[in-house]
Amino acid sequence: MIKMNFNSDTTASVCPEILSKMCEVAKEDDYMLGYNQDKYTKEVRQIMQSYFSKPIKCFFNVSGSGANVLALKTMKDNYSSIICCEDTHINRYEVGGTEYNTGCKIITCQSDDAKLTIDMIKKKLNTRNSFNFAYPKIVVLSQVTELGTCYTLKEIKEICDFCHKNDLYVYIDGARLANAMAYLNVGFKEILEDTGVDIASFGANKNGAMFGEMIIILNPMFAKNFILNQKQSMQLFSKTRFLSCQFLVMLKDNIWYKNAKHSNDMALYFEQELKKIGISLAYPVQSNAVFANFSDKQIEYLKNEYQLGSYDDEKSCCRLMTSWSTTHKEIDDFINYLKKFKS
C-alpha cells in the first residue's frame, strides 16, 4: 500500500488526548448551548486571556483557509489590497478564496525563503500615490512559512512596527504557529502581543486535532462584531464545544507544544538521516517541513512506495512533512527504501 505519512501533516490522525476529550464531552453533556455559549469555549477563552497582558478575543472555526478569510474580511476596507509573499497560502493554495471572499487585491513579493522583509513591503507602497490602485492595507505573514521557515520575533516586531507607522495591519496565518512557537521556544504573548500582531490564527488541524483553528484578535478594533462576520461567512460552527474542547486539551495539558516539538524534532531527524545518504536540503529545517533535493529519477522511484506531497518540478525539490505521530521507524523505513534506489 502506498504510504502517505510524509505527504502532509494533515495525513496524521487525531491525537489520543484530543479524541478522548471529544468522546468525554459527547458522553457527559447531552445538551449544551451552541455558538460559543458552552462552558468549554468559555474556559478556553479564559485560559487564552491569561497568557496575555492586554485584552484579547478568540474565536473558533474549522479550517485554516476559513480563518484567513475571516480575519482578512475583518481588517479590510472596500478598496484594500493585501501584501504577502508569492508562496503564501492565501495567494497560492486557496483557489483565490481571499480575493473572492474579501474583494481585496493580493499583491505578491518574490522571496527566496517565503519570508517578507520591510524592503519588500516598502516597494509595494509606491502605488499609494495614485487613485488608480487598490490601497495596501494588510500584510500577511505565514508563521511557519510555506517553505518551513520561521520569522524571528525581532523580524515580526520590526515588520509590525513598520506596518503600524505606515497605515498597515499585520495578520499572521498561523496554521503552524505551534511549530514556530516550539522552534523559537516562545509563548503566545512573546510571539503575538510583544511583537504587535493585529490578528493571528492558531492552527490545530495540523497539530493533532480532528479539526479546528483559533482566531486570536489582539487589536480591539477588530473584535467588535467579529461573530457577525463569522456567521455571515458561514464559518460559525454551531456545536462549538467540540471545537473548543480540543483547544482546551491542547492548552491545559500543553499538547500543542508536545505535538509541535515532536514533529519538529522528527523533521530534524529526517534531515540528519537524509544528509547521511547524500541528500541535500533546499531550505533550513525550522519546523516540521523538510524540503529534500531529490533527482527526478529518485522522485519517480519514491512514488512507487510513497504518496509524495508538493514538489517543485524545476528544482526537483520535494516537501516531506512530519507530524505529531511520526516515528523514527517511519523515517528509517523511508531512508532504507531510498538507499535501495539504483540510478
Ligand X SMILES: Cc1ncc(COP(=O)(O)O)c(C=O)c1O
Question: Which part of the chain contacts ligand X (CB under 6 A), choosing from 58-66, 113-121, 239-247, 249-257?
Answer: 58-66
Residue 175, interface with ligand X (CB under 6 A)? yes
Match 531512508 to its residue by C-alpha cell: 335
Residue 65, interface with ligand X (CB under 6 A)? yes
The minimum distance between CB 55 and ligand X, in angstroms, equals 26
Cell numbers for 309, please give them. Answer: 506531497
Helix (H) / strand (E) element for 297: namely helix 296-303
Question: How many other C-beta atoms are found inside a 10 Å radius of the C-beta of residue 221?
Answer: 11
Task: Among 89, 124, 261, 262, indicate the residue that binds ligand X (CB under 6 A).
Answer: 89
Helix (H) / strand (E) element for 320: namely strand 317-321
Q: Are 315 and 283 in contact (CB under 8 A)?
A: no
Task: Among 59, 64, 192, 274, indicate the residue that binds ligand X (CB under 6 A).
Answer: 64
Residue 98, interface with ligand X (CB under 6 A)? no
Residue 173, interface with ligand X (CB under 6 A)? yes
The minimum distance between CB 49 and ligand X, in angstroms, equals 25
Residue 63, interface with ligand X (CB under 6 A)? yes
Shorter beta-carbon distance to ligand X: residue 175 or 331: 175
| All residues at 6 or more sequence positions from 39 whose CB lies less than 8 Å from its CB, including other chains | 32, 241
Instruction: Lay out the site mask for ligand X across 205-244 (x = CB under 6 A, - = otherwise).
Output: x---------------------------------------
What residues pair up with 141 in beta bridges, in sequence order?
A: 172
Amino acid, single-letter form, for residue 14: V
What's the gap between Cα 183 and its chain centre?
A: 14
Shorter beta-carbon distance to ligand X: residue 75 or 175: 175
Nearest to 35 by CA among 235, 185, 213: 235
The minimum distance between CB 142 and ligand X, in angstroms, equals 5
Tell me the backbone φ, ψ of residue 336, rounded to 5 degrees: -65, -40
Instruction: Lay out the site mask for ligand X across 131-160 (x = CB under 6 A, - = otherwise).
Output: -----------x---x--------------
Question: Which part of the chain contacts ligand X (CB under 6 A), choosing from 22-30, 63-71, 277-285, 302-310?
Answer: 63-71
The minimum distance between CB 62 and ligand X, in angstroms, equals 8
The minimum distance between CB 188 and ligand X, in angstroms, equals 18
Rounded Cα gap, residues 13 and 9, in angstroms: 9
Residues in contact with ligand X, counted by CB under 6 A, come to a total of 9
Residue 198, interface with ligand X (CB under 6 A)? no
Rounded Cα gap, residues 342 and 138, in angstroms: 50
Nearest to 269 by CA among 310, 338, 318, 329: 329
Judged by the rule CB under 6 A, the positions of this chain that interact with ligand X are 63-65, 89, 142, 146, 173, 175, 205
